[in-house]
Copies of this chain bind each other. A is one copy, B any other.
Amino acid sequence: MTAVTRARLEALDRADPLRSFRAQFDLPPGVIYLDGNSLGALPARARERIRHVVEKEWGEGLIRSWEDAGWIGMPQRTGDKLARLIGAGVGEVVAADSTSVNLFKALSVAVRANPGRRLIVSERANFPTDLHVVQGLVTQLGGAVELLLAEGSNEGVEKCLAEHGGRAVAVLLTHVHYTTSRMYDMRRITEAAHRAGALMIWDLSHSTGVVPVDLHACDADFAVGCGYKHLNGGPGAPAFIYVARRLQEKLTQPISGWMGDARPFDFRGEYEPAKGISRYLSGTPPVIGMAALEASVEVILEAPMAEIRRKSVALCDAFIELMDTRCAGQGFELVSPREGTWRGSHLSYRHGSAYPMMQSLIAGGVIGDCRPPDLMRFGFAPLYTRYVDTWDAVARIAETALQGRKKK
């Protein structure tokens, strides 16, 4: 690889097949935003969709908009759009609730679908809410199931399943790790889970929208994911749930609210689960937030996923190379995979002054975030992050690190 220069990065931006997308986002001037993995930037289309939904559909249409503006079909319609980003079929995904609530549904169904087994296998350093939700279910079911934590790697999970898989109800893993960015081999791990007789639940929160995912190809059973990271659906956007068609009607999920009923507007007391994925709905859909998510997903669908992925890897590669050369000896340790193949679209660096340094960077307009105990995290959103942003960000990081040393 030739040395990275700003001119070369500018040339990459000029040649970038995704370059027109940046103008579709509202980005504050003077900011290099490297935290789209935590909260994606605002797509102009989402801004305008929200305005329309609020002012026209709610303000003028009022109750009529449930039919006239298609609110009632929004969870399924948005789900079908999301399905195209994760290799799922029409009628296999709904947008609904939060990731935590959807995980609770998937885990509850898995436990009932796989009786006689008692282990829910996950990863020791999984995103906390995944483990928390398992713990809540364990308590609710009076200890009928328990949580078993594997080491976080393809090999670690396989080893755990080789030893304990015969008692495993389900395997719950996050595809791209929220700090290290390490990515599981979904096909390999799903096969290992199935070989052991366990159901596979993928949390796609840190992959959807920026990493190609093919749930059909790996024959996953359930997946959930977050709407507000790389999907750019807005703060606290609705999440989604995928259930493989072959499993959808075998069971019902426990939070059986009226929107999961076969005919909610018949107002019958006896719950009759809807056909297909709709039974994974619970309460009334959060229309305004979901409208933003739907609009945001539409923007992503206009970009070829292969180009998104190519640029994501290239942005991370450029950032790593720049950090290697310009911040050498400044105490940064890359904890993400150096090679792009099994890495998501963010990078984490360990640094002894991670928190104060990130505060300085944010104050100066380079926005990343920190994760305990000492990680600085930078996310790259191919639709609005430019190649030159990696140069300018690393320049600031180098300056900030030097200033930090001078103060000492």
Whether a CB of chain B sits under 8 angstroms from the CB of A285 is yes
Of B31, B132, B257, the contact of A129 (CB 8 Å cutoff):
B257
Of B126, B140, B234, B238, the contact of A108 (CB 8 Å cutoff):
B140
Copies in the complex: 2
- B100 and A283 contacting across the interface, CB-CB below 8 Å: yes
CB contacts (< 8 Å) of A57 on chain B: these are 235
User: Which residues of A from 114 to 139 have beta carbons under 8 Å from B?
Assistant: 124-129, 131-133, 135-137, 139
Whether a CB of chain B sits under 8 angstroms from the CB of A42 is yes
- B283 and A101 contacting across the interface, CB-CB below 8 Å: yes
A369 to B271, CA, bound (A): 23
Whether a CB of chain B sits under 8 angstroms from the CB of A405 is no
Nearest residue (CB) in B for A272 is: B132
Instruction: Bits for A372-399, please: 1 = Cβ < 8 Å to B, else 0.
Output: 1000000000000000000000000000
Whether a CB of chain B sits under 8 angstroms from the CB of A404 is no
Whether a CB of chain B sits under 8 angstroms from the CB of A221 is no
Take A63-B39, A131-B269, A139-B252 as given contacts and tell me if A101 and B97 are in contact as well, using a CB distance cutoff of 8 Å. yes
* Least Cβ–Cβ distance between A293 and chain B, in angstroms: 10
Take A255-B100, A367-B63 as given contacts and tell me if A128 and B288 are in contact as well, using a CB distance cutoff of 8 Å. no
Nearest residue (CB) in B for A269 is: B131
Nearest residue (CB) in B for A292 is: B288
Most B CB contacts (10 A, CB to CB) among A228, A256, A267, A268 go to A256
Q: List 26 A-B contacts (CB under 8 A).
A: A26-B59, A28-B60, A31-B62, A41-B59, A42-B58, A47-B59, A50-B54, A51-B54, A58-B235, A63-B367, A65-B235, A97-B97, A97-B98, A98-B257, A99-B283, A99-B284, A100-B255, A100-B256, A129-B257, A129-B283, A131-B269, A140-B140, A140-B141, A235-B284, A237-B286, A289-B289
Given contacts A140-B141, A289-B289, 19 further A-B contacts (CB under 8 A): A42-B55, A50-B50, A50-B54, A63-B369, A66-B235, A98-B257, A98-B284, A100-B255, A101-B282, A104-B255, A124-B269, A125-B269, A127-B267, A128-B261, A132-B260, A135-B270, A136-B255, A234-B287, A288-B288
A interface residues (Cβ-Cβ under 8 A, vs B): 26, 28, 31, 33, 35, 38-39, 41-42, 46-47, 50-51, 53-55, 57-60, 62-66, 71, 97-101, 103-104, 108, 112, 124-129, 131-133, 135-137, 139-141, 149, 226, 228, 234-239, 252-261, 264, 266-271, 282-290, 292, 362, 367, 369, 371-372
